[in-house]
Structure 1
Amino acid sequence: MEDVNSSVWKIHDDSFRQIIGVNPSLELLLSVEAYPFAHEAGVFLPSTKELFITSNQFIGHDGKKKVQISKVSLGDENATPMREEVDCIDIQMGNGAVNDQDSILFCAQGSMTAPSGLFRMSSLPPYKTEAVLTSFYGRPFNSVNDIVISKDGCIWFTDPIYGFEQGYRPPPSLPNQVYRYDPKTSSVRAVADNFGRPNGLCFSPDEAILYVTDTDQVHGDGSINPSRCSTIYAFDVIYRNDQPFLSNRRLFAFADVGIPDGIKCDMDGNVYSGCGDGVNVWSPGGVLLGRILVDGGVANFCFGQSGELFILNEFRLWKAQLNSSVRGALLKI
């Protein structure tokens, strides 16, 4: 097999070559210098070839911190992507998001006056929005960060205290935890604790394992301490009395550059995470297989179709083309 560009594709294990294929590519799709438009979420809609993303925080025209939701229309292979800013006042400081049938389920980190929680937004104008969950039995969430929906329709999400540390949320009223919400019964449970800053989460393809990133190395006040967690944990999903529990917590991987933020699996169970040097990929056994190197690092990303990977790099949106046989576990396309 021909050598690939080592400045983009860092191979640690030969099996990474099967993932990236014989002719991988990294293409810049969009660049916006006004603000860091490509930070989190990353929700691909295959029916319309659209991508919904959230920006990093920036100062708006009113002098206050804000996060901007964008819709990127990708079009056909040779089309120029078009970006539209989506105004949705109900989703304050949006962050992670996930496909929810024909809609999108967003994490709203909230503000001093607006709640943090889960909000469903239509993917079509005028982008009608409804609140799904905004408290833990009346106790306000801290700043809900990332989200995934299991095959039974239940919603799993993380809730670190970043909003308070960054000055736009009240003092925490809950620990740094992972939660599960069942829309059918309106039951919400704390399912994992003892994190520094729980962040990204995803299931293995068979949903037998839940992966959770702990980004405690970087606190919301900007302090960085290399002795704190920059870690992906794995949990077994077991059932007791017909309810799922997380057990057998174990350190799955430690990110050596920056923090492991957003996280996804492919259908072979390989684990991808946005890190300080790009997208890192581990085998299901926790072996670092390789990296897609992106200057400035990656907070989040999502799979498209047939080996596409849309990479959010703050002021830039990239598309990596992996082996066309690669499928993301979320959409399985």
Structure 2
Amino acid sequence: MKVTLCPRYSCTAFITALLIASAPATVNSADVAETSSEKEVAVETWSCPLQPGTPPSGELTAEAIAATKTTRTDPGLFEGPAWIGDALYYSDFTFGTGFPSRVQVLKSDGTVTTAIADSGSNGLAVDGEGFLFAATHDRKAISRFNPSTGEREMIVNGYDGQPFNSPNDLTLSRDGILYFTDPDYQRSAAPGGQQKTRVYQFDGEKVTVIDDTLVNPNGVSLSPDQTTLYVAGGQVVRAYPIEKGVMGAGVDLIEVETPDGMAVDCAGNLYVTEHSLQHIRVITPSGEEIARIKVDANITNAAFGGSERKTLYITGAGTLWSLELDIAGLPY
């Protein structure tokens, strides 16, 4: 099993060291250097402002973005929004055999193009160099893509000698720790799987189980200060304290129905999607609901984008929605 990850988002040196240590056959350090030099997506350094703004309250409605309506003829979902540079990247997959997926890009001029035609992806995240990390159900793995060329690297593809079920959502810490969920929604996309659905972390060398008690864990996010990991699964949102890199026991914050992905604003509030209820519940870090955001179809995930990261983008059944807010948030 090949395992690579980029601590503190500095990829080339770390991957080179791992390649020397593990000697996989498919990638070498020259390949990695070439991939890095070919990437053309501009990435700006961005962090939460000291005064992020005012969180939403009450009931709000997001507007569908007409240009993003899927051109596919088969039913499917949009997933994994991630803001890179000045554009929103997202997965577009169908329910056909193998759950075929592509990565689409909503550009600042409102046009939509295909960045990666055959990504196999669900959830997306972005590292500090602008590369896409993706939960790829076609290979039951976490993969890393060059968004300009579509070139793929395998990051981690199994636990305890067996493939994952169908990695769904993921997030990266500033220290290069990868956190991801592994429900069984797309388990049939490829052979093999696990006996349980779990939440995992991967430090570049070792896969560790965070939780194996949640039925189909789905959305996963870090708090802005990275001291808490949040997971939506089963019928709850669960918070895990992180102290000096050590994960503590999870505490349930709130009960939810059909939880999917979620976003986090710079004040630490969670934007939790309830898939079949077609809305987002905005909750504080202590679990108090402060707002609801409605859409007009089933909903999957959310992320902040725009020049000030105050536009909330929402993915769902064949379209995107957006809502301008007064608070900045995290880009995936």
TM-score class normalised by the smaller sequence? 0.7 to 0.9
> What secondary structure does 1:328 align onto?
coil
Match of 1:140 in 2: 163
More helix by share: 2
Match of 2:99 in 1: 66
2:111 is the alignment partner of 1:81 = yes
C-alpha distance in 2, partners of 1:202/1:97? 12
Match of 2:63 in 1: 27
CA contact (8 A) 1:21 1:322 kept: no
TM-score (structure 2 length as normaliser)? 0.74
> What secondary structure does 1:41 align onto?
strand
> What secondary structure does 2:55 align onto?
helix
Match of 1:260 in 2: 259
2:208 is the alignment partner of 1:189 = yes
After TM superposition, give the deviation of residue 312 of structure 1 in Å. 0.9
After TM superposition, give the deviation of residue 85 of structure 1 in Å. 5.9
C-alpha distance in 2, partners of 1:230/1:21? 23
Q: Return the letter of the residue paired with 2:215.
A: G
- CA gap of 1:21–1:139, structure 2 versus 1, over 3 A, is closer
C-alpha distance in 2, partners of 1:18/1:310? 18
After TM superposition, give the deviation of residue 174 of structure 1 in Å. 4.0
Match of 2:135 in 1: 107
- CA gap of 1:188–1:18, structure 2 versus 1, over 3 A, is same
Match of 1:162 in 2: 185
Count of residue pairs the alignment pairs up: 271
CA contact (8 A) 1:20 1:321 kept: no
CA contact (8 A) 1:98 1:106 kept: yes
Match of 1:123 in 2: 147
Q: Return the letter of the residue paired with 1:269.
A: G
Match of 1:10 in 2: none
After TM superposition, give the deviation of residue 272 of structure 1 in Å. 0.6
After TM superposition, give the deviation of residue 330 of structure 1 in Å. 4.9
CA contact (8 A) 2:63 2:295 kept: no
CA contact (8 A) 1:58 1:67 kept: yes
2:316 is the alignment partner of 1:317 = no
> What secondary structure does 1:261 align onto?
strand
Match of 1:301 in 2: 302
Match of 2:37 in 1: none
Q: Return the letter of the residue paired with 1:261.
A: D
TM-score (structure 1 length as normaliser)? 0.74
Unaligned 5+ segments in structure 2 are 1-52
C-alpha distance in 1, partners of 2:323/2:181? 27
Q: Return the letter of the residue paired with 2:232.
A: T
Q: Return the letter of the residue paired with 2:55.
A: I
Over aligned residues, Cα RMSD in angstroms?
A: 2.4
CA contact (8 A) 2:304 2:328 kept: yes
Match of 1:212 in 2: 231
After TM superposition, give the deviation of residue 277 of structure 1 in Å. 2.2
Q: Return the letter of the residue paired with 1:231.
A: V
C-alpha distance in 2, partners of 1:159/1:296? 25
CA contact (8 A) 2:273 2:300 kept: yes
